[in-house]
Amino acid sequence: MATSKSRFLTAQWKNLVMLNYEVDPEILKPYLPAATEIDLWQGKALVSMVGFVFKETRVLGIKWPFHVNFEEVNLRFYVRHFDGKEWKRGAVFISEIVPKSMIVLIANNLYKEHYRALPMRHSITKAGPNHTQFLYEWKLKGKWNKIGATVRNSLAQIEAGSQEEFIFDHYWGYNRLTDYKTMQYQVEHIAWQIAEVKDFVFEADIEELYGKQFVPYLSVKPFSAFWANGSDIAVRIADKLLLDPILPG
């Protein structure tokens, strides 16, 4: 899709572990940006817990020392926006964790994201002859939280019409600014390849991280679990959407 916006950030997103949970859409409404609506999968509102690594990160073309390679874990849900011509499908981030305070400062101020900085680590280990385990951890209140998956060592293309296509086919980011104003930015990457998830782990202080309203939904077995290899990505400079308020009378 053509765009006139310059690139704000380029990087590689690699080894994405995604655990997807069905939630009551009512708990998402406080986060829903103006001019968007919840994008449903077969009538279900889904959120995703995602762990992955940033590599070769550049901001405005510059590699900042000690901020090139790092982990991220986030909680997101899916929306769509009609721009008058077409539907744009995107993600809204409820919370994002990284190990770098400078990233928190930049992203929260410039893109109105919801980052916090915590100690993080990740590992990639063999799990038998045909599988690999990917694990992402972050330290909260002295305890290591974790998300991970054991994945078959065999890549496949994403099938058209699949749940994987629905989850990964969101190429915009939306952030709520006010009741009538939304920040919008485009995310570019090639179609990723996926691999079968054999098993997974998610252990976290859900209430502390996301609020007690998410505890019943993130404490159960996920609706689905995905892994994707990732690729080079680019985030374009953001712009703002303004929804005209409906005035009484």
pLDDT score for 50: 98
pLDDT score for 249: 38
pLDDT tens figures, 9-59: 899 999 999 999 999 999 999 999 999 999 999 999 999 999 999 999 888
pLDDT tens figures, 144-161: 999 999 999 999 999 999
Report in angstroms the alpha-carbon separations of 12 from 9, 20, 81, 189.
10, 22, 26, 9
pLDDT score for 39: 98
DSSP 72: E
Report in angstroms the alpha-carbon separations of 40 from 22, 37, 77, 121.
10, 9, 10, 33
> What is residue 207's three-state secondary structure?
helix
Buried b (16+ CB within 10 A) or exposed e, 68-102: eebbbbbbbbbbbbeeeeeebbbbbbbbbbbbbee
pLDDT score for 4: 52
Q: Average pLDDT over the chain, rounded to whole?
A: 92
- Whole-model pTM: value is 0.91
Residue 91 and residue 74 in contact, taking contact as beta carbons nearer than 8 Å: no
Cα–Cα distance measured from residue 238 to residue 5, given in angstroms and rounded to the nearest whole number = 8
DSSP 73: E
Residue 138 and residue 118 in contact, taking contact as beta carbons nearer than 8 Å: yes
pLDDT score for 1: 44
pLDDT score for 8: 86
Which residues of the chain are under the pLDDT cut of 70? Answer: 1-4, 65-66, 107-108, 110, 244-249
| Both tokens assigned to 162 | 């699949």
